[in-house]
Amino acid sequence: MSGTANVLGPGGKGRRTMLTMASGETPLAARGISAADKLMAAPCGIGLPSLASVPTEQRFSADDREVIALAEILVKSDIAAAEDWSKSERDATKYLLLTLRRWTRKHGGPAIDRRFDLDLTLCDRLVDYSDERGPEGTLYLVLDPDSAAFVLLSPTIELLENAHPRLPATFYSHFARALNRWIRVYDYHDAEERVEMLREWYEGEENADQYEIPDVEGCTPKSLKETPLNLCALKKVNEDIRDVQLKALNTGLLELCRISKQAKRPEFTDEMGEQLMDSNPALPCLLAAFSSGDAVVGCFDDEAQTAMEVTPQPDVIIPLKIDDPLSVRRGFRTIAIVCETLAAASRLVDLMPGNEEGVITREG
């Protein structure tokens, strides 16, 4: 993995309130709550909840009503596992943490962890350290990168060029489109925009010719300028391919595209816009370059210098209306599709030649 792929990553340390879904097993501090339904202490003889035997730190706290309500919905929706309640030490906040960990593992977590360094957070606001939270009764599932994953394109493009003149453009356009449906991919299109902005800045400057402009066009393969095939045409081409490696690449791409389209990205509401009005654009979850030191990487490095001057927007925002169980179920279904999309992308990158060094080694 290129060293430049890690430059955007202060990430989830000290981030939004509520729960940070990191992959580690460090427990959260007790929140001081009791629970309802399966999360409730044993009732007394007249059928009312009894707090007599519940430790003080687990008694009901008004600040945690949304946490308890969400946990109850997840249990009734078969999203949360009842056996995690004892593992959480009867703490609803820890219980939600275990639920999200279980949910992400179920929907591709191990494959995601090979290539992507992400935080999935359950929070009540969209801006770090803000005193203004979202509407009452609304929580958010938020996905942010701690650093950008890296994919090397040139070896795959060269392989595809030998099979069909339009395969390189077809492969990359559908790869990027499937991922950009959910996360931000930084690629040669972003670098071209950066170059255009630099030219505008330098225009009219004295000795403008002394400024070095990254040669993004020069490093971009000409085959990517071809008109991409649609997915139906790609399926037909793939049926005729006999090369095992090529067939695996195209089959993996078709699978990625299929999964990515299984859910619709939640609408970006005016209320979200108000919370994020002073934010920078979302950070890239993936840097797609042609070589480890090309002009695309250079533009990425350049933009990374100022990316964290203002809090960036999250890559994925999924609102959960606690008074609407259907909203919660849809939200968890959507984050499942996001996870499965990232897992499919990780598996596809594993098949792309030249990307053996992009695997993340995690402690423990």
Write out the E strands in the chain: 19-21, 117-123, 138-147, 149-152, 185-186, 286-289, 316-321
The pLDDT score that the predictor gives to residue 209 is 67
Task: Please write the tens of the pLDDT for every residue from 83-99.
Answer: 999 999 989 999 999 99
Q: Does pLDDT of 357 surpass 90?
A: no
Q: Residue 186: is its pLDDT beyond 90?
A: yes
Per-domain boundaries in the chain: 3-16+109-358
- Note the pTM of the prediction, 2 decimals: 0.82
Tell which wins on pLDDT, 58 or 181: 181
pLDDT at 208: 61
The residues pairing with 280 across neighbouring beta strands, listed in sequence order, are 312
In sequence order, what are the beta bridge partners of 144? Answer: 119
3-class SS of residue 225: helix
Top pLDDT among 106 and 125 is at 106
Three-state DSSP class for residue 118: strand
- Does residue 286 register a pLDDT over 80? yes
Q: What are phi and psi of 287, to 5 degrees?
A: -105, 120
CB burial readout 286-299, b (16+ within 10 A) else e: bbbbbebebbbbbb
Give the tens place of pLDDT for each residue, 14-29: 344 334 333 433 333 3
Residue 216's SS3 state is: helix
CB 199 within 8 A of CB 193: no
- The confidence score (pLDDT) of residue 43 equals 36
Per-residue confidence (pLDDT) for residue 129, from 0 to 100? 64
